[in-house]
Structure 1
């Protein structure tokens, strides 16, 4: 009997994990339908019937919408709520505020991008990739790098840039709250791989005496307009980085292998003055194991993101000792780390 119980538990464990994709699929559907936005606009818990009406979906499928909501409430995105006359209803759960499309820190574009068909492709080729010489499963699936695809596919490029921009706003709100002194006194800064410039704009607004530049590939910055203290530069960080007192790298290094990271940091070192003149590189990225013990969800997210970097970009998340080796291999002599949420801010000195 004990053996049978163990087999049943093992089967349940396997089922739980191979059905996990249903959570992300249900989340994608909720964002596509606009369920968080409807409940937010409603201003109070909403019944299933009211939700069906507001979404303008086929009323014959109201029961099936309830089944979808059961998954989403179980996952914590929405809350079961009792309404007058004992009607069952739904309210926004704590995470769902970031699924509202006009929220300043909205992750809705990230959800839609990360669950799109082109993003799913590499996961079907991981076992094949382990047998071949391709740098990433993404290249096994599509025959070219993610960056090449983004430069050729306007929809993918839009999803990616929107996701990075919205995620950057949240990170930068934490940076300005806990690490403002890192940027104070800088006369110039270049945001390498800064995309549409969401981070640089925030810094330029916060520090109007600092001249900010955004360096990114031509197709990314094409048509973007700067301000009096913000300019866009088309280029390639592996070839040259515009000179500045500080170079900023947010969520860049984990996209690349160690050899490429050293190349990037050497270009950064060429762009900044010596430490005695305030020269430094500022990295915002993840340090594995830096998250507090007991925060199992964040730890699991780090592990997932590490595998994501393997599948798409030939990159990885790194423990501190792995970061330090890259720093020293690139010719830097000192560093300082500050934890900000699930990420770390690293000041790197020549």
Structure 2
């Protein structure tokens, strides 16, 4: 009897290991539900509702503010519980009824008040839209395909991301709003943080593939002496009101063919969308456009991911996820320093500086 018990105990660590493994497997396979819960609260405007309530709201407050059907209260509780556990919202226990507060994460979903200028809500809505999510659910099918489509996005939608945005104005608006929100946020962080010196000595700048001009406007506002120009495709430039009322100039064109001349060229979240061959072509066009004066700037400013630039687990994990989803949506990829150095060299550049000062992203200065 004693030997049987010992034998049973001998199996216990292995059984516990398998149970732990099964828990981890379930957590991983259900991880999409966490993203969908985030998307749910983003669409409903939960962060704004808490903000309007003075920064704290009970479940019943949220239920009323969001005008939900009475039967949906228990489900809203479940959604909030998942996001509290994930650190998106905070839950404070009280004797009568618990209330929810914003965290630094959910504060970035607020569109009203002082926080509106830094809101990443449009970016979250884009990343969790069917436009992006559906191709991600078809990775296995794309890997098994014969290679006719360059990306899973193209296989699912019948056209590449840029083609989809140009053909359907609503999708183009969704993408442009997302990029504009990200530009306002990241340029605010760069200009008011450790990246401000990057713009020293510059008197003119072209934001290449700069969308609706959010990044260029941020630079122009912070540095009025810098003449800022935005280059993007005609359908993007055509979507900008003629009376936009700012000092930024807009030029319609293809960066593969022509880039206006300036002291510095900005490429924010652009090169990761393209293959190495296309990146080299873009960088060569940039080199032709840079006014050759080191004293007046004479460089390319790249804001993008440098894989392995941070030792923080959250940054490393986010870089890996971005690399995967970018490869689902576009022919591009995220690059480590050696991969960046290689394309710089192929384009004729030998000097660069990487400053990992923007969370999971970095500022890369590439000099003539």
TM tier, shorter chain? over 0.9
CA contact (8 A) 2:57 2:100 kept: yes
Distance 1:230 1:262 in 2: 27
> 1:181: which partner in 2?
197
Between the aligned partners of 1:322 and 1:35, the Cα distance in structure 2 is 41
Whether 2:180 is the aligned partner of 1:165: answer yes
What residue is the counterpart of 1:244 in the other structure?
Answer: 262
In the alignment, does 2:206 pair up with 1:190? yes
- Give the CA deviation at 1:142: 1.5
Q: For 1:64-79, what aligned pairs fall within 5 Å after superposition?
A: 64-79=75-90
Q: In the TM superposition, what is the alpha-carbon distance from 1:155 to its structure 2 partner?
A: 1.9
CA distance in 1, matches of 2:22, 2:53: 41
- What SS class does the counterpart of residue 99 from structure 1 fall into? coil
1:344 deviates by: 1.4
Q: Secondary structure of 1:195's partner?
A: coil
SS of the aligned residue for 1:32 comes to: helix
Show the 5 A alignment for 1:34-45: 34-45=45-56
The match for 2:126 among 88, 91, 113 is: 113
Select the structure of larger CA radius of gyration.
Answer: 2
1:288 aligns with 2:303: no
What is the deviation of 1:228? 6.5
Partner of 1:93: 103
Shift of 1:44: 4.3
The 3-state SS of whatever aligns with 1:130 is helix
Counterpart for residue 130 of structure 1: 143
Structure 1 regions of 5+ residues with no counterpart? none
- What is the distance in 2 between the residues matched to 1:45 and 1:228? 37
Q: TM-score, normalised by structure 2?
A: 0.90
Distance 1:24 1:124 in 2: 14
Unmatched 5+ residue regions in structure 2? 1-11
**Change beyond 3 A, Cα 1:223–1:256:** closer
1:307 equivalent to 2:330? Answer no
Q: Is the 8 A contact 1:281 1:347 kept in 2?
A: yes
Secondary structure of 2:138's counterpart equals helix
Q: Distance in 2 between matches of 1:301 and 1:228?
A: 35
**Count of residues in correspondence between the two structures:** 347
Q: How does 1:125-274 map to 2 (within 5 A)?
A: 125-131=138-144, 132-133=146-147, 134-176=149-191, 177-224=193-240, 225=242, 229-274=247-292
Q: Which residues in structure 2 correspond to 1:13-28 (within 5 Å)?
A: 13-28=24-39
Task: Determine which of 49, 52, 58 is the counterpart of 1:47.
Answer: 58
Deviation string for 1:185-207 (max 9, x for gaps)?
A: 22211100100100101111222
Q: 1:113 to 1:70 in 2, by over 3 A?
A: same
Q: Which whole-Å CA distance do the structure 2 matches of 1:297 and 1:32 have between them?
A: 25
Deviations 1:212-267 (A, max 9, x none): 11000111111424656421001100011111121111111111111110000000
* Corresponding position of 1:330: 347
- Per the TM alignment, residue 209 of structure 1 is displaced from its structure 2 partner at its CA by 2.1
